[in-house]
Amino acid sequence: MPLSFYWVDAFSDRLFAGNPAGVVPLNSWLSDEKMQQIAFENGLAETAFFVPTANERFHLRWFTPKVEVNLCGHATLASGHVLFEVLKHPGERITFDSLSGALTVTKRTGRLQLDFPADHPVETTDPTLYQMVTRALGQPPLWLGLTSMDVFAVLSSEPAVAQLQPDHTAVAQAGMRGLIVTAPGSTDTDFVSRFFAPQSGVPEDPVTGSAHCALTGFWAGRLGRSVMHAKQLSPRGGELWCELRGDRVLIAGHTKLYASGQIHL
């Protein structure tokens, strides 16, 4: 049974940058085991699968090479690209139902914009976690918190984040989905980040839309503004335009289709 497959670079306006995601449109669900096998075979940070539901909505799921996850920003953006640009979905807005509730992708002047729930980090003073994160980063964080999914660490500067060479074993021992590391940005960027999740099969995620559900609210409070420009400093790099709007976060970025083909099951 052949399935259409698309490879999209998300959060970049050029190929070979941003975060690549696999997208597999379906008419009905495959087994969880089969979708996990496809994600493992793809070897990408996430592969998204969606099926049409009522009222022109879609049910969306995401798999890393190891596990199904509750939320993935870049693969949602990539799914929006496939629906709008390849499958020619009408209109300017798509609604996905997911394990994280209703999520939308909207066309915005050359970019696609996600509407996701905010996930504000809460400060922790757990000494064991602090020691684990210090060992993972090779330096103590200025601030340490937890989101609903991740450990959240703040460093002093953009170079401190850019030059990180974390201990991935220690990152995995810190638990949860992964580790968000962030700092204030330079003159043209409000904040920067990196995301490490070896325990989820992703040593470093190139660009992490879901992490910006936490980053946007945190830096909005620190910087005193709700609209911000962010960069993720992985080797591939990526740009995001973020806005805190009540209990929601709007995250916009560019997308580029890299490849398309078929999966033969």
Q: Does a structural domain hold residue 242? A: no
Residue 184: half-sphere exposure toward Cβ, Cα within 13 Å: 9
Residues 105 and 126 in one domain: no
At residue 48, the pLDDT reads 99
Q: Does a structural domain hold residue 241? A: no
Q: Does a structural domain hold residue 246? A: no
At residue 176, the pLDDT reads 93
At residue 146, the pLDDT reads 98
- Give me the tens of pLDDT residue by residue for the chain, a chain 265 residues long: 899 999 999 999 999 999 999 999 999 999 999 999 999 999 999 999 999 998 889 999 999 999 999 999 999 999 999 999 999 999 999 999 999 999 999 999 899 999 999 999 999 999 999 999 999 999 999 999 999 999 999 999 999 999 999 999 999 999 899 999 999 998 899 999 999 999 988 899 999 999 999 999 999 999 999 999 999 999 999 999 999 999 999 999 999 999 999 999 9
DSSP 8-state symbol, 228? E
Residues 56 and 128 in one domain: no
Would you state the structure tokens that stand for residue 20, as one six-digit string? 């690549």
Residues 190 and 101 in one domain: no
Smallest CA-to-CA distance from 78 within 261, 201, 258, 216 is with 258
Residues 89 and 137 in one domain: no
Residues 94 and 126 in one domain: no
Give the domain CATH number at 184: 3.10.310.10
Residues 150 and 219 in one domain: yes
At residue 74, the pLDDT reads 96
At residue 1, the pLDDT reads 82
Residues 155 and 207 in one domain: yes
**Overall number of domains in the chain:** 2
At residue 186, the pLDDT reads 87
Q: Does a structural domain hold residue 243? A: no
Residues 88 and 169 in one domain: no
Question: Which residues, in sequence order, are CB contacts of 207 under 8 Å at separation 6+?
Answer: 10, 11, 12, 18, 19, 74, 232, 234, 236, 237, 238, 240, 253
Note down the domain range covering 210.
Answer: 122-236
Q: Just list the catalytic residues.
A: 46
Residues 133 and 229 in one domain: yes
